[in-house]
Amino acid sequence: MRTEVAIIGAGPAGLMLGRLLELAGIDAVIIERKSADYVLGRIRAGVLEQGTIALMDRARAGGRMHDEGLVHHGVELSFDGDRHRIDFTALVDRHVMVYGQTEVTRDLMAVRQAPAIYEAEDVELHDFDTAPFVTYRRNGVTHRLDCTYIAGCDGYHGASRKSVPEAAIQSFERTYPFGWLGILVDKPPVSDELIYAHHERGFALCSQRSPTRSRYYVQVGGNEKVEDWSDTRFWDELRRRLNAETAEALQTGPSIEKSIAPLRSFVAEPLRFGKLFLAGDAAHIVPPTGAKGLNLAMSDVAVLAGALIEALQEKSSAGIDAYSSHVLSRIWKAERFSWWMTSLMHVFPETGAFGRRIQRAEFDYLAGSRAARQSLAENYTGLPA
Ligand code: APR
Ligand code: PHB
């Protein structure tokens, strides 16, 4: 088999790239390790920047998103119970949309004309410096796919980044000594807007998926196990970390999903190796505090699609030559913002009294300074591509 672009991974990055290429008339094959149902069963983030909303429209996949997505004009920050709203519209005249990554994935799957190859085992990338090809096994049979370019969109644990020789790639990493315990519940959200709460017991986030479905998180220690968190224990802990009025209004119920995610910052450099390009979680991870993971993946593949179209149709390598440095500049800014939001909102075991006073001062500075709030709003709603 032969194709122009072999895309490894059918997460949002791989599916969006496949769709943008398909609309440009470029043949691409998506190879995914899991089944489509498994991919759709993963509960991930839920906040879309305006650039991501526009990209869904460009992919002609935005119909349901506009019907069901919830436009948010601000978020609330809470520090030891003191609340402050960040008004995106007033500060930067921009907004975000709450629409689950699972739904983004479903919509992209639905519009794609060419089917993706699911349940491909032992995916391996070969000769990406010269004449690239990908091998995989399906139903016990080994297949070979020859291609002009490979796009590694297979997430942090995927095969693409791992196939690059160690000497050719540099990794920058920070792991945080805590995780987020998340719960999904069929109850209306406690507030119209998201609430990011700092409390001496740890961070909490009130998020949502729809007017009747809510997503809540609490910061937990790095060694905590989800089995040790009954729903009751979760709700009790969440209430303690919210301000009294919000805690009072919280509607609780049985969880329909509960999991712990570690927090990590990670960037690989460079993101091009001959004819292989890395994008999305394969290239970088951000802690979820700034809601940047999905959006960053989308902006990577928007740039990559343009570069590949230019290379294949106009025979110009300018775009693919610039890809790595172009996207890394935006990636590092999103890394900085996600690290900063994480540092402000969480309790760090090693911080001590001085560090907590600094966090409080940062919150008070935000509450008192339009410039500080504007910077937060500009980053949260998304820097230009
Ligand atoms: N071969 C083929 N596919 C693979 C392999 C492999 N060896 N390893 C992983 N995959 C698949 C995964 O099963 C997954 O479906 O690659 C896909 C990667 O998707 P995501 O992890 O969702 O990553 P990405 O598409 O870059 O999306 C960005 O935004 O909200 C954040 O981290 C969140 O997933 C999110 C990301
Ligand atoms: C979510 O709804 O899952 C969510 C929202 C905002 C974040 C992270 C996660 O910053």
pLDDT tens, 327-377? Answer: 999 999 999 999 999 999 999 988 889 999 999 999 999 999 999 999 999
pTM of the model: 0.97
Q: Which residues pair with 121 in a beta bridge?
A: 137
Q: How far is CA 79 from CA 212, 216, 247, 353, in A?
A: 27, 17, 14, 15
Neighbour-count burial for 228-237, b at 16+ CB within 10 Å, e otherwise? ebeeeebbeb
CA of 286 to the centre of ligand 2 (A): 12
C-alpha closest to that of 276 among 194, 153, 113, 188: 153
Amino acid of residue 279: A
Q: Which residues pair with 75 in a beta bridge?
A: 86
The DSSP line for 282-302 is GTEE--GGGS-HHHHHHHHHH
CA of 145 to the centre of ligand 2 (A): 37
CA of 43 to the centre of ligand 1 (A): 12
How far is 216 from 183, CA to CA, in rounded Å? 5
pLDDT at 3: 97
Residuewise pLDDT in 10s, the chain (385 residues): 999 999 999 999 999 999 999 999 999 999 999 999 999 988 888 899 999 999 999 999 999 999 999 999 999 999 999 999 999 999 999 999 999 999 999 999 999 888 899 999 999 999 999 999 999 999 999 999 999 999 999 999 999 999 999 999 999 999 999 999 999 999 999 999 999 999 999 999 999 999 999 999 999 999 999 999 999 999 999 999 999 999 999 999 999 999 999 999 999 999 999 999 999 999 999 999 999 999 999 999 999 999 999 999 999 999 999 999 999 999 999 999 999 999 999 999 888 899 999 999 999 999 999 999 999 999 999 998 7
Residue whose Cα lies nearest atom 7 of ligand 2: it is 291
Contact residues for 256 (Cβ-Cβ < 8 A; gap 6+): 184, 185, 186
> What are the backbone dihedrals phi and psi of residue 252, each rounded to the nearest 5 degrees, phi first?
-105, 165
C-alpha closest to that of 266 among 131, 156, 343: 156
How far is 241 from 96, CA to CA, in rounded Å? 25
pLDDT at 45: 85
How far is 269 from 330, CA to CA, in rounded Å? 13
How far is 141 from 147, CA to CA, in rounded Å? 20
How far is 222 from 245, CA to CA, in rounded Å? 30
List the catalytic residue out of 136, 284, 288, 346. Answer: 288
Alpha helices in 226-368 (DSSP H): 231-241, 244-249, 293-313, 318-345, 352-368
List the catalytic residue out of 196, 216, 217, 323. Answer: 196
Q: Is 302 in the pocket of ligand 1 (CB under 6 A)?
A: no
> Could you count the other beta carbons within 10 Å of the beta carbon of residue 282?
29
Amino acid of residue 247: A
How far is 36 from 372, CA to CA, in rounded Å? 43
How far is 343 from 371, CA to CA, in rounded Å? 19
> What are the backbone dihedrals phi and psi of residue 217, each rounded to the nearest 5 degrees, phi first?
-135, 150
> Could you count the other beta carbons within 10 Å of the beta carbon of residue 337?
21
CA of 195 to the centre of ligand 1 (A): 27
- Mark whether 333 is an active-site residue: no
C-alpha closest to that of 144 among 126, 160, 159: 126
How far is 230 from 368, CA to CA, in rounded Å? 39
How far is 307 from 290, CA to CA, in rounded Å? 27
Spatial contact of 70 and 98, defined as CB atoms under 8 Å apart: yes
Whose structure tokens read 């919280």? 250
- Mark whether 196 is an active-site residue: yes
Whose structure tokens read 């609430």? 195
Cis peptide before 349 (omega within 30 of 0): no
Which numbered atom of ligand 1 lies nearest the CA of 9?
16
Local structure of 273: helix, strand or coil = strand
Which numbered atom of ligand 1 lies nearest the CA of 283?
26
- Mark whether 380 is an active-site residue: yes
Residue 173 parent element (H or E): strand 170-185
Residue 142 parent element (H or E): strand 141-152
What the block records as the tokens of 217 is 């998180």
What the block records as the tokens of 305 is 């699609």
Spatial contact of 207 and 217, defined as CB atoms under 8 Å apart: yes
Q: Is 46 in the pocket of ligand 2 (CB under 6 A)?
A: yes
How far is 132 from 145, CA to CA, in rounded Å? 9
- Mark whether 292 is an active-site residue: yes
